[in-house]
């Protein structure tokens, strides 16, 4: 009779085996155990688990895999010096220039900041020298973004934009930001990218039915502005004891309000009226047309199955 093999059955066992393999320098085994943990027990995974898995991938020279692991926990990982060092390694390895800029902006220690800046500057210089043709093509794609269908626009944002160095991109970016054929979810991504990619403090952006001049020095991330937060809070207030509807509407309107970024307050002056219309699709309201437009744009994303609303 053969030996009985006890396969790990719990998240705790998988975590312990993965971390033990990691500490032993067996990064292939660490990846295997921690990936099994993430797939079998997604609700039990912690940012520390993600950080360990991403670090193991980096040790194996697989920066793209590491980047995929940390997408939802970047803020958590960036809260420690070790975590920021990992993120810089990922940003340099992919490369992912926005991630590198994010980490640098999150760093308060001058020595650490300088080291990270030097790493990313070297990576950017090398990337420009080695990938000149691809960079020219990406700039051309950025300028002509409105001529692409929505799937192609999403592919540009998710595969090309993060690898586009911040070198002479202002003109192409300016065209894309005001192009009426660029989907608002894509445009929102361009605006957040522009905060790192260009030294310009004033940009022009098409939002809904007009072009808005925006001072970027005071911008926050989509959904974090005072107006969006007030709208989401008002939706909750208007639905007491209707938790299921709240759980549906709040995430939905978090996405929809992002389509008005970076000028939500330009279009929503009466937060209470907008929220009332959001919870009552039959309500006659000056915001009815705007909400219908937002909903239609969200449906466009849903129809083609993009990830831009996630």
Classify residue 74: in a domain, yes or no: yes
Domain's final residue, options 217, 245, 278 = 217
pLDDT, average across residues 117-122: 94
In this structure, the answer to whether residues 17 and 121 fall within a common structural domain is: yes
In this structure, the answer to whether residues 177 and 150 fall within a common structural domain is: yes
Count of Cβ atoms closer than 10 Å to residue 248 Cβ:
12
pLDDT value at position 8? 57
Sorting pLDDT into bands at 50, 70 and 90, what band is 106?
confident
In this structure, the answer to whether residues 122 and 170 fall within a common structural domain is: no
Q: How far apart are CA 213 and CA 48, in angstroms?
A: 41
In this structure, the answer to whether residues 208 and 151 fall within a common structural domain is: yes
Q: How far apart are CA 58 and CA 72, in angstroms?
A: 17
Q: Which residue has the higher pLDDT, 7 or 81?
A: 81
pLDDT value at position 197? 81
Domain tally, the chain: 3
In this structure, the answer to whether residues 46 and 143 fall within a common structural domain is: no
Classify residue 235: in a domain, yes or no: yes
Interacting residues of 58 by C-beta distance below 8 A, sequence separation 6+: 66, 86, 89, 90, 93
In this structure, the answer to whether residues 213 and 264 fall within a common structural domain is: no
Q: How far apart are CA 169 and CA 146, in angstroms?
A: 16
pLDDT value at position 72? 92
In this structure, the answer to whether residues 35 and 86 fall within a common structural domain is: yes
* Rounded percentage of the chain residues whose pLDDT exceeds 70: 95
In this structure, the answer to whether residues 208 and 265 fall within a common structural domain is: no
In this structure, the answer to whether residues 213 and 299 fall within a common structural domain is: no
Domain's final residue, options 97, 129, 161 = 129
Q: In whole numbers, what is the pLDDT of the chain averaged over residues?
A: 92
Q: Is the pLDDT of residue 93 over 90?
A: yes
Classify residue 3: in a domain, yes or no: no
Distances in Å between the Cα of 2 and the Cα atoms of 5, 9, 27 are 9, 21, 29
Domain's final residue, options 129, 164, 181 = 129
Interacting residues of 164 by C-beta distance below 8 A, sequence separation 6+: 97, 135, 138, 139, 142, 197
pLDDT value at position 299? 95
- The token duo for 47 is 């940012």
Q: Give the DSSP letter of residue 211.
A: E
Long-range contacts of 74-83 (CB under 8 A, 24+ apart): 74/99, 74/102, 76/47, 77/47, 77/50, 77/51, 78/102, 78/103, 78/106, 81/109, 81/112, 82/51, 83/51
Classify residue 31: in a domain, yes or no: yes
Classify residue 5: in a domain, yes or no: no
In this structure, the answer to whether residues 211 and 231 fall within a common structural domain is: no
Domain that holds residue 263: 226-304
Classify residue 6: in a domain, yes or no: no
In this structure, the answer to whether residues 183 and 278 fall within a common structural domain is: no
* Rounded percentage of the chain residues whose pLDDT exceeds 90: 82
- 145-201 pLDDT, tens digit each: 999 999 999 999 999 998 999 888 999 999 999 999 999 999 999 999 998 887 777
Classify residue 1: in a domain, yes or no: no
For the chain, the helix, strand and coil percentages under 3-state DSSP, each to the nearest 5: 70, 5, 30
pLDDT, average across residues 35-64: 96
64 membership: H or E segment, kind and range = helix 63-70
CATH of the domain at 75: 1.25.40.10
pLDDT, average across residues 101-129: 93
Cis peptide before 95 (omega within 30 of 0): yes
């Amino acid at each position: 009779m053969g030996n009985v093999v006890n396969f790990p059955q719990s998240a705790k066992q998988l975590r312990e085996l993965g971390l033990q393999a990691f500490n032993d320098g067996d990064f292939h085994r660490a990846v295997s155990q921690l990936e099994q943990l993430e797939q079998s027990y997604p609700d039990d995974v912690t940012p520390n688990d993600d950080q360990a898995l991403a670090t193991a991938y980096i040790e194996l020279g697989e920066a793209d895999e590491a980047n995929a692991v940390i997408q939802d926990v970047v803020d958590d990982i960036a809260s420690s010096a070790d975590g920021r060092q990992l993120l810089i390694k990922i940003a340099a390895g992919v490369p992912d220039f926005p991630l590198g800029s994010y980490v640098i902006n999150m760093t308060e220690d001058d020595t650490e900041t300088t080291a990270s800046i030097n790493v990313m500057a070297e990576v950017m210089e090398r990337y420009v020298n080695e990938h000149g043709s691809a960079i020219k093509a990406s700039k051309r794609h950025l300028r002509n973004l409105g001529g692409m269908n929505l799937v192609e626009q999403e592919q540009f944002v998710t595969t090309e934009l993060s690898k586009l160095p911040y070198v002479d991109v202002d003109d192409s970016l300016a065209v894309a930001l005001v192009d009426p054929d660029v989907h608002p979810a894509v445009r929102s991504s361009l605006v957040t990218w522009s905060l790192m990619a260009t030294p310009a403090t004033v940009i022009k952006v098409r939002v809904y039915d007009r072009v808005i001049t925006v001072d970027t020095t005071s911008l926050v991330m989509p959904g974090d502005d005072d107006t969006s937060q007030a709208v989401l809070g008002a939706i909750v207030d208007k639905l007491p004891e209707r938790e299921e509807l709240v759980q549906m509407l709040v995430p939905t309107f978090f996405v929809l309000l992002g389509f008005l970024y970076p000028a939500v307050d330009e279009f929503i002056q009466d937060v209470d009226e907008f929220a009332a219309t959001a919870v009552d699709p039959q309500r006659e309201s000056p915001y009815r047309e705007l909400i219908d437009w937002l909903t239609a744009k969200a449906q466009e994303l849903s129809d083609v199955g993009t990830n831009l609303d996630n």
